Structures are given as structure tokens and as C-alpha cells.
Amino acid sequence: MLDWNKIKSKTSELYGEAGKKFRQYTPESFSKEKKFVNSLVVSMALMTMADKKADTQEIIAALELINDIDEINDLNLTTEAIELYEFHIEEMSKAVESPTKWILMEAKLLSELGKMKAYPEYPPMIEALIAHIAQSDGNLDPLEVEMQDKILRAIK
């Protein structure tokens, strides 16, 4: 069962820490970095929901990772990344009830991850992060292992 109060508390805390002014995005200058940040967030959301349920520990671990990743902080994207992560978790939570919607959501997100193939320096970091998220609740089940494999196939 999700502890939404604990999650909202952690989110508020991280929003406060990330209260920096955003730089304006220009696709030409940040496209590679933006794709990387998006891929990190999508990967963490997919791993959080791999077993088709959101666990409080996994969500908090992902939020803390987003807050701690230098590449996200250097681009002043921490708040945006947290909001994007929450959006994906909410959308995936809605799709869990329908196998068709789940497959479509998963395929869309894995397709988005495919953009990382052009940047071979990023997949090792994504691989380490998804392993951390998968094990953050102390239980690595077969669905999480399967999702890790799907993510790795998408980014490599």
C-alpha cells in the first residue's frame, strides 16, 4: 500500500531543495542532455511500476536519485524531472487495470528510451540507476528483472 503522505512530504522537501531558476531550453544546445534526463526519468518510472504497483520505498528512492544526479542538477532540471516522474507514475498507475493500455504505455516509454542508442556514454548510468530502483524495496521479483531487460534492450 502506498503511503501518499510520505511521498508528498518527500516530494515537497525535494521541490524546496530544487528551487533554482530554470534555464530556458533550446533544443539545439540541450537536446542530448534533455533526452538523457527524460530517459533517466522514464527508466525510473518503468522500474518503479515494473510489478504493476507503486511501492513507497521505490518512489522515494527514485525521487532521491533525481535530486542527487549531477547531470540533472547541472541543467537546473530537478523540479521538472520530479514532476515528469510523478506524471509517468500517475499515468502508468491508471493503465495497470487495462492490459492493452499497459502494453501501449510500456511500448511508448520503451520507444522513448530508444533515443539513448545514439549516446553510448549514457546507458551504463541508466543501467546502474534501474538496478538501484529495482532493489530499493528489498525485493527483486521476476517482473522487475524482465523490465530491466526491456530497458537495457531499448537503450543499447
Per-residue model confidence as pLDDT tens digits over 72-127: 888 888 998 999 999 999 999 999 999 999 999 999 999 989 888 888 999 999 99
3 pLDDT exceeds 80? no
pLDDT of residue 4: 67
- Give me the pLDDT at residue 13, please: 63
Q: In this predicted model, what pLDDT tens digit does every residue of 14-69 receive, in sequence order? A: 655 444 333 333 344 456 888 888 899 999 999 999 989 888 888 898 899 899 98
DSSP secondary structure code for residue 156 in this structure:
-
Instruction: State the Cα–Cα distance between residues 35 and 95, nearest whole angstrom.
Output: 24
User: What whole-number distance in Å separates Cα of residue 123 and Cα of residue 121?
Assistant: 6
- pLDDT score at 100: 94
Cell numbers that stand for 108 in this block: 511508448
Residue found by looking up cell 544546445 in the block: 29
CA distance 24 to 94: 32
| pLDDT value of position 66 | 92
DSSP letters, 37-106, are HHHHHHHHHHHHTTTSS--HHHHHHHHHHHHH-HHHHHTT-HHHHHHHHHHHHHHHHHHTT-HHHHHHHH
Q: Give the Cα separation of 34 and 81 in Å (integer).
A: 10
> Would you say residue 5 has pLDDT above 50?
yes
